[in-house]
Structure 1
Amino acid sequence: MRATSLSLLRTATRCSQTRVAACPHQLAQCSARWSSSLTSTSSGTERKWSTPLAKMLGEAITTTGPISVAAYMRQCLTAPEGGYYTRQTSTGQDQFGTKGDFVTSPEISQVFGELIGIWLYAEWLAQGKQDKVQIIEVGPGRGTLMDDVLRTISSFKTFAKSIEAVYLIEASPHLQKQQAKLLVGTEELEKSEIGWAAPLKYVPGVKIQWCEDIRFVPKEETSTPFILAHEFFDALPIHVFQNVAQSSIPASSTIITPTGPIKPKHGVTAPKNTWHELVVSPASPYASAGTTVTTSSASDKGHEKPDFELTVSQTPTPHSLYLPKMSDRYKKLEETPDAIIEISPESFAYISDFAVRIGGGNAPSPKARQKPSAEPASFSKAQPSGAALILDYGPADTIPANTFRGIRSHQTVSPFTAPGLVDLSADVDFLALAETALNASPGVEIHGPVEQSFFLSTMGIKERAERLLKGAKDEDTRRRLEAGWKRLVDRGPNGMGKTYKAMAIVPFNKDSKVRRPVGFGGDIMS
């Protein structure tokens, strides 16, 4: 389980006195001034970085200037060489489980995945037993959740026969092999048009396919996609913005935007508060011990200095000029000095894709919100079908702030320590996901978010656990089963029932009658 939030962003911002500019010329000038202190120490020796990836990022930033949190996060997690999810650990163990850095719900109890499989079956029944079903999972980890889901679905023969293909969206070749070993029985995969493929062991005649991006998965007007996203959105890159009082743009500044350069007039151009982006730059090699972060990792030192730090951009960046304008929720904070918000454009792109696959990207209906979606789509669907189930952690109705964190050996650490060896995440903005999905397609409706404890309890986790306990062969197995399911629904500080949320995207009901899905207050319908 990934740890809960810390106010690392605000602390890092207060500790930093560096201010950087947004335009390329100013960034280059700043980089030149930094280069001597960032690449060498007072003794003239080359600076020591905690990881090869940290060195690569440090040298790149020294050359081109500070980068966004999103760019830093993306490199740390998925860089081809040394990224957290794309590397293979030296011990042969992956990042998941008690021997890794965090434990996810499917690893805690098989009941979790079984109930997700039942949820998909219940939705399939409620939608009239559609054929041509696609099952898609984004960020499948080592395949534990999908294994439990497909094992459960295989018990419902009619539903299993409706499945045309299973897709796993996975960028890590190492994790792809682990998933294949579990779901197929071999690591040998065959090349396909979108990536790799192999015959699925649970459903005869069906192939499981791997690709790096959901955009490679074919959209079909007659297909019924069931999409799973478990602890996926928390790992997508975020941009972080701070509302700076009395912001001004120097007359010499030129801001590069997607539509061309903007050269402000002389004097103060933003008399009120303005959103400025928090950017990542190398920390000073002479940083005091006060910036040292204590960790519980396997490090012999036990104390590691962050390689990087956050600074506030001196002027607005292209992202700060438009991302905080995308929602009225962000605009309401424009009069709040020093307010911090986290926004994930990649999350908006994924959730828009989910919505369009389910409901189509038709022209908005009068009931739809008249705002642009993250990624306009032209895909049409005569009859909306399918569903998406998102399970992750974050606030139910507020904007995440100061939630960017690192996780290593089941402990929260600085996200700027040991890049590539530390998992990075941030709270999910569920309300932003819901708003984006509704804007992307008039053919969908949103249910939730609801607390994981409510979702799993109404799905029957206690009853399923009791059946497993009756069949347990020994006391150790019984203790493990009992502790596992209770942790999933525990609403206390050490449990996952309150922090984690569930949200569903289902087809819009044209009859104007709300059909709540099972797990969100509804009953199983056949």
Structure 2
Amino acid sequence: MSAPGERLDHFMARANAAYYAGCDPFVDFITAPEISQVFGELLGAWVAVVWGLLGRPDPFMLVEAGPGRGTLMADAQRLLRRVAPACHGAMRVHLIETSPRLRDVQAHALHDATAMPVRWHDDLRGVPDGPMVLLANEFLDALPIRQFVRRGQGWEERFVHDGAFTHAACDFPAGHPARLRPVPEGRVLETCQPALDFIHALGTRLLRWPGAALLIDYGYDAPAWGDSLQALRDGRPADPLLDAGRADLTAHVDFRAIADQAPRGVAVWGSVTQGDFLSALGLAARVEQLARAAPAQADEIRAAAMRLAAPERMGRLFRVMGLSSGLAGDLPGFAGRHAGDGTGRGETR
């Protein structure tokens, strides 16, 4: 029996590959590093503290997955060069980016920010062995998802045909962390195998070499369900199934499934809200320092910080999770909170 169209994850992968190859994503959305330099500076300071907790390895790999314009890494590098020169000198910068066009943009942004050559990779496997600190901001949300609809005691999977969903009876993927969630009749349960594969590869590396990773994205920490597929075209919400390659397709990140996927022996921290995480890293103090230094821009600086941290803005929608191994202490920003402390169940949106 032929498939009733293109499987959703295949459609999403094809659409996003075309979008990032031919469109300017920064016209359609703005990420936290572009909103305020404080975001990248705080993560740079976080890297320095983690480096110390790892025993100050020299060298170590500083990796960013999905680095966008390179703004986060550039801001972090400037902060590290100024306040943590030993850490800055020990790092080797590696970027996971598949788009040749974005690699050129990142190279320009980082030209004066780091003394070491920057190396690019298609995936984590290309990063050399050794201690590593990895940053991933709005990386997992663009990875392709599958959607399954509960039908009685079984499932139907969603496909895409002529700009609309079609369905076919199927088995839910065996061994998936969300397999046993009690999803109501007719509701959608999403899976993102590329995200789980990335976490497995990351965790496997952390079992071999000490290090830490920071995952920041919009998503949910309860064992939830619901259709979260969305599209942005020309800065506005759009139908995700129309005009493939003309819009940025994303979905909410299932942080509970990610925590369940981490290998035994790797510590999982959070997730916590972005607002709580940035506050723990000293957001308010750094914002006021910048406001005093540039009084004419003080209101703008404070407004940008509010956008990052306020519960009604990005502060609650975005969540932060950490993975680590070989640390001499707790991972900064999580108040000692390990995964598994969360409660609640319900729709993703």
* TM-score normalized by the length of structure 1: 0.61
**1:352-501 alignment runs, 5 A limit:** 352-359=200-207, 381=208, 384-437=209-262, 439=263, 442-472=264-294, 474=296, 477-492=297-312, 495-501=313-319
TM superposition shift of 1:213: 2.1
Q: SS state of the match for residue 331, structure 1?
A: coil
Q: 1:110 to 1:400 in 2, by over 3 A?
A: farther
Partner letter of residue 326 of structure 1?
H
C-alpha contact 1:400 1:427 (8 A) present in aligned 2 = no
C-alpha contact 2:148 2:157 (8 A) present in aligned 1 = yes
Report which stretch shifted further, 225-234 or 413-422: 413-422
- Give distance in 2, aligned partners of 1:522 and 1:322: 33
TM superposition shift of 1:407: 1.2
- Give distance in 2, aligned partners of 1:411 and 1:485: 23
- Give distance in 2, aligned partners of 1:522 and 1:158: 27
Which residue of 1 is the match for residue 144 of structure 2?
237
- Give distance in 1, aligned partners of 2:234 and 2:333: 32
C-alpha contact 2:228 2:251 (8 A) present in aligned 1 = yes
C-alpha contact 2:28 2:233 (8 A) present in aligned 1 = yes
TM superposition shift of 1:339: 3.0
TM superposition shift of 1:170: 1.0
Partner letter of residue 431 of structure 1?
R
Correspondence for 1:85 among 16, 20, 29: 20
TM superposition shift of 1:479: 2.3
TM superposition shift of 1:85: 0.9
Correspondence for 2:159 among 257, 279, 284: 279
TM superposition shift of 1:502: 0.6
- Listed one character per residue, the Cα deviations across residues 96-119 of structure 1 (whole Å, up to 9, x for unaligned) are 1xxx11111000000000000111
- Give distance in 2, aligned partners of 1:66 and 1:215: 32
TM superposition shift of 1:130: 1.8
Q: Establish whether residue 213 from structure 1 lines up as the match of residue 123 from structure 2.
A: yes
- Give distance in 2, aligned partners of 1:332 and 1:408: 33
C-alpha contact 1:445 1:508 (8 A) present in aligned 2 = no
- Give distance in 2, aligned partners of 1:419 and 1:67: 12
TM superposition shift of 1:508: 5.8
Which residue of 2 is the match for residue 159 of structure 1?
87
Partner letter of residue 516 of structure 1?
D
TM superposition shift of 1:157: 1.2
Partner letter of residue 337 of structure 1?
E
C-alpha contact 1:240 1:340 (8 A) present in aligned 2 = yes
Higher strand proportion (structure 1 or 2) = 2
Q: SS state of the match for residue 253, structure 2?
A: coil
TM superposition shift of 1:397: 1.6
Q: Establish whether residue 202 from structure 1 lines up as the match of residue 141 from structure 2.
A: no
- Give distance in 2, aligned partners of 1:508 and 1:238: 32
C-alpha contact 2:148 2:190 (8 A) present in aligned 1 = yes
C-alpha contact 1:67 1:281 (8 A) present in aligned 2 = yes
Partner letter of residue 357 of structure 1?
R
TM superposition shift of 1:132: 2.0
C-alpha contact 2:8 2:159 (8 A) present in aligned 1 = yes
- Give distance in 1, aligned partners of 2:138 and 2:176: 24
TM superposition shift of 1:443: 3.1
C-alpha contact 1:342 1:399 (8 A) present in aligned 2 = no
User: Relative contact order: is structure 1 or structure 2 higher (C-alpha 8 Å, sep ≥ 6)?
Assistant: 2
C-alpha contact 2:213 2:323 (8 A) present in aligned 1 = yes
Q: Establish whether residue 341 from structure 1 lines up as the match of residue 163 from structure 2.
A: no
TM superposition shift of 1:398: 2.6
State how many pairs are aligned.
336
- Give distance in 2, aligned partners of 1:412 and 1:330: 30
Correspondence for 2:132 among 193, 213, 225: 225
C-alpha root-mean-square deviation of aligned residues, in Å?
Answer: 1.9
- Listed one character per residue, the Cα deviations across residues 344-388 of structure 1 (whole Å, up to 9, x for unaligned) are 0000111111112222xxxxxxxxxxxxxxxxxxxxx2xx41100
Q: 1:426 to 1:502 in 2, by over 3 A?
A: same
Partner letter of residue 120 of structure 2?
W
Which residue of 1 is the match for residue 46 of structure 2?
119
Higher helix proportion (structure 1 or 2) = 2
Partner letter of residue 330 of structure 1?
R
- Listed one character per residue, the Cα deviations across residues 198-226 of structure 1 (whole Å, up to 9, x for unaligned) are xxx4343x2201122222223x2xx1111
Which residue of 2 is the match for residue 507 of structure 1?
325
Correspondence for 2:25 among 95, 105, 109: 95
- Listed one character per residue, the Cα deviations across residues 218-244 of structure 1 (whole Å, up to 9, x for unaligned) are 3x2xx1111111001000000100111
Which residue of 1 is the match for residue 64 of structure 2?
137
Q: 1:126 to 1:416 in 2, by over 3 A?
A: same
Q: SS state of the match for residue 457, structure 1?
A: helix
Q: Establish whether residue 326 from structure 1 lines up as the match of residue 144 from structure 2.
A: no
TM superposition shift of 1:473: 5.4
TM superposition shift of 1:151: 1.2
TM superposition shift of 1:126: 1.6
- Listed one character per residue, the Cα deviations across residues 168-212 of structure 1 (whole Å, up to 9, x for unaligned) are 11111111111111112xxxxxxxxxxxxxxxx4343x2201122
C-alpha contact 2:158 2:167 (8 A) present in aligned 1 = yes
Q: Establish whether residue 309 from structure 1 lines up as the match of residue 164 from structure 2.
A: yes
- Give distance in 2, aligned partners of 1:522 and 1:114: 22
Which residue of 2 is the match for residue 302 of structure 1?
none
Q: SS state of the match for residue 223, structure 2?
A: coil
C-alpha contact 2:219 2:319 (8 A) present in aligned 1 = yes
- Give distance in 2, aligned partners of 1:490 and 1:217: 35
Q: 1:338 to 1:465 in 2, by over 3 A?
A: same
- Give distance in 2, aligned partners of 1:181 and 1:338: 48
TM superposition shift of 1:153: 1.6
- Give distance in 2, aligned partners of 1:463 and 1:520: 18
Which residue of 1 is the match for residue 105 of structure 2?
178
C-alpha contact 1:102 1:408 (8 A) present in aligned 2 = no
Partner letter of residue 271 of structure 2?
P
TM superposition shift of 1:321: 4.3
